[in-house]
Amino acid sequence: MRNDWLARRLKELGKTGQGLANALGINKSRISEIIGGRRGVKADEIITISNYLEMNEREVISLLSGVTANSHTGSSEAVSTTDSHHGRAHGRYSGAFVPEPKDLPPPSTMPVDVPVYGTVVGGADGDFEMNGDVIDRVRRPAGLTNARNAFALYVVGTSMSPRYDEGDLIFVHPGRPAVTGSDVVIELHAKDEFGRPKALLKTYRGKTPTLLLLSQLNPKADIEIPLTDVKQVIRVLRTNELLGV
């Protein structure tokens, strides 16, 4: 989904994509990819983007999620509101529905208890090995307050770039079902009793009675894996799920 509203907001404020890129610590080309819908916004980037665009965080999340106001308000006019938390004015864009905030704890109060499992770089197709070792623990996002089985992985390789760059942290939840278009980690059966299970980070396209259908971004390709090779499919959580909106 394109994010043309972001370009309009930058122009309205007299700010630049380069300035936003500098604030995020990323290359300017990544901003173009976000606007064009070719790269997602990571949970830890929301605050920086909101501050730079002088907007409420939940409004930014709503716009990035593509939730519209037409069915809720019938209004297409942009209005100006004041964010009582930040104490400054910000624009509410045409078609943007801002959900009522939930009573979520501040991020700094969340426990650092989500395990990060270690991985070993695999082959040229973007596969990697999940070695089962907990190499770190990271702060639990507000949206995973009650998610006991959630865990995190560091992205290996560039097969899903620019959506995910190598070294990015992703959160996954075995209890959330994969849906068409969602990103998933696919754990494969080990080839023998001494082998470690290989895994892939791809986009879920569906399945047939015998095949799991996937796609990747870099290089762009469709992939088919026999279901007999698949141990489990685990959905990668989206930004709005991590933030609890």
Considering the domain 4-92 in this protein, what is its CATH number?
A: 1.10.260.40
Residue 144: pLDDT band with limits 50, 70, 90: confident
pLDDT exceeds cutoff 70 at 63: yes
Q: Which amino acid belongs to residue 22?
A: N
| pLDDT value of position 193 | 72
Q: Tell which wins on pLDDT, 221 or 93.
A: 221
Which tokens in the block code for residue 204? 């879920």
- What is the average pLDDT across 57-72? 64
Q: What percent of the chain has pLDDT over 70?
A: 78
User: Which residues does residue 193 pair with via DSSP β-bridges, in sequence order?
Assistant: none
**CATH fold label, 107-243:** Umud Fragment, subunit A (2.10.109)
pLDDT exceeds cutoff 80 at 111: yes
What are the pLDDT digits (tens) for 161-192?
888 888 888 999 888 889 999 999 998 888 77
- Each domain of the chain, given as residue ranges in start order, spans 4-92, 107-243
Which tokens in the block code for residue 64? 């990035």
Which tokens in the block code for residue 167? 């070294």
